[in-house]
Chains A and B, each alone.
Chain A
Amino acid sequence: GENVEQHPSTLSVQEGDSAVIKCTYSDSASNYFPWYKQELGKGPQLIIDIRSNVGEKKDQRIAVTLNKTAKHFSLHITETQPEDSAVYFCAASTPSGGSYIPTFGRGTSLIVHP
């Protein structure tokens, strides 16, 4: 099955700095890569996603890049703000019987210091 590795496990930055979280996946059949943000005591919320036919996608301060050859993808957050502090999860989805069941990384705890 799919295996997703995520680094770093903890990331501490100053407000206004950029943050980068990196993930690798193992199954070359994976073709959809969502990123989720999880705040304490809540469920994961989708923040951005990318499909395998695209190399980069941007939404305001958030961008994702995908390198299919190397099987890695990254989340970039620019101009970080204290409210960006949360746990971020990457995931890779492999088609399975017509559905896409995401496999998640172990998460990155992002701390933005004011």
Chain B
Amino acid sequence: DTGVSQDPRHKITKRGQNVTFRCDPISEHNRLYWYRQTLGQGPEFLTYFQNEAQLEKSRLLSDRFSAERPKGSFSTLEIQRTEQGDSAMYLCASSLSSGNTIYFGEGSWLTVV
């Protein structure tokens, strides 16, 4: 399978704990995006990278959230001091720099209890 891969698929954590999600994009794609999706809503943009550079961040990305893509390949999204409101599906997507279309992974479900 050469699609976008996300890990873990499901995570249950206690409020206040830190969590980290990993995304492996489609191999030739140099753009990588993180979105958040809550029940009954469409995906909401969080941030995106071109290679290792983080080029844009949404206002939704509070200072408890940090995303990295150190070598321009896989990316991690860390949430510190989780809150119940962080419960959502975190979607990663990737695209070619020359293309408009972004391709999503299967998502990582986060439940904060």
Binding site for B on A (CB under 8 A): 4, 6, 32, 34, 36, 42-46, 49, 51, 89, 91, 93, 96-107
Contact = CB atoms under 8 A, between A and B. Distances in A.
B31 interface: yes
Contact of B41 (A36, A102, A107): A107
23 contacts: A6-B42, A36-B104, A43-B6, A43-B107, A44-B104, A46-B101, A46-B103, A49-B100, A51-B100, A96-B56, A98-B50, A99-B56, A99-B97, A100-B95, A100-B100, A101-B45, A101-B56, A102-B102, A104-B44, A106-B41, A107-B40, A107-B41, A107-B42
B4 to A, nearest CB: 8
Contacts of A101: 33, 45, 48, 56
A4 B40 CA distance: 15
B56 A97 contact: yes
Interface of B: 4, 6, 31, 33, 40-45, 48, 50, 55-56, 91, 95, 97, 100-107
Contacts, number: 61
Contacts of B56: 96-97, 99, 101
A43 B106 contact: yes
Contact of A42 (B33, B41, B43, B107): B107
Question: What 4 pairs between A and B have smallest CB-CB spacing?
Answer: A104-B42, A43-B104, A32-B100, A100-B100
B31 A99 contact: yes
Contacts of B31: 99
Nearest to A102: B102
